[in-house]
Amino acid sequence: MQRESHSDPFLDEFASRIPPETASTFTPTQMEMVKREFGPRSWKKHPVDIRLTIPFFKRGFYVVLLSGPERRSRERLRAERGKHPLSTASNLIVLTALSLTVLTAGMGLLFLFTAFLLTPLVPENEGFVPDMVEQEAEYFLHKIGR
C-alpha cells in the first residue's frame, strides 16, 4: 500500500505514523482489518459515560465512570485483572470514602423518611410537649423543695 490518500482519515493517520517501507507492505484487506480493530469504536459507546475533572489545588484529577454490558472474554478479564488490580492503596482509599459518602447519604435519607413518617400531619394533642415540660418542671421544683 502506497502512502497515498485513502479518503479515510483513520487510515491516512495510521499510514503517516509508520515508516513508508512498512506502510507499503499492507494490503487493502489488512488495512481494513487494522481499521476494524484499532479504529474509532462508535459501536462501543457505553450507556453510562460520565467524565469529570475535579480541580484540586493547582492540579486537576479526572474521574471516569463507564457502565454497560460486559463483552470481554474471560481470558481478557483475567489478563486485565492482573494489569489493573482493585486492591491498591489508592483504590481502597477512594472506595472507602465513596462507601462512607453513600452510607452517610443513605442514613440521612432514612432519618428524613422516618421523621416524616413519625411526624403526624395533624397533631392529636397540641399541648403534648408543653404539658410534658411543665410536668417535668413541677417535678423538679418539688424535688428541690420549692
Report pLDDT for 135: 79
Q: 2-19: per-residue pLDDT in tens?
A: 444 457 888 888 888 999
Q: What angle do CA 79, 81, 84 make, to 5 degrees?
A: 110
Report whether pLDDT(118) > 90.
no
Query: Are residues 100 and 94 in contact, defined by beta-carbon separation less than 8 angstroms?
Result: no
Q: 36-79: per-residue pLDDT in tens?
A: 888 766 556 788 999 999 898 888 889 898 899 888 889 988 88
0.95 exceeded by pTM: no
Question: How much of the chain, in percent, has pLDDT values that exceed 90?
Answer: 23
Beta bridge partners of 52: 63
Report pLDDT for 72: 83
Report whether pLDDT(140) > 90.
no
Closest CA to 40 of 16, 69, 14: 14
Q: 122-132: per-residue pLDDT in tens?
A: 556 555 556 67
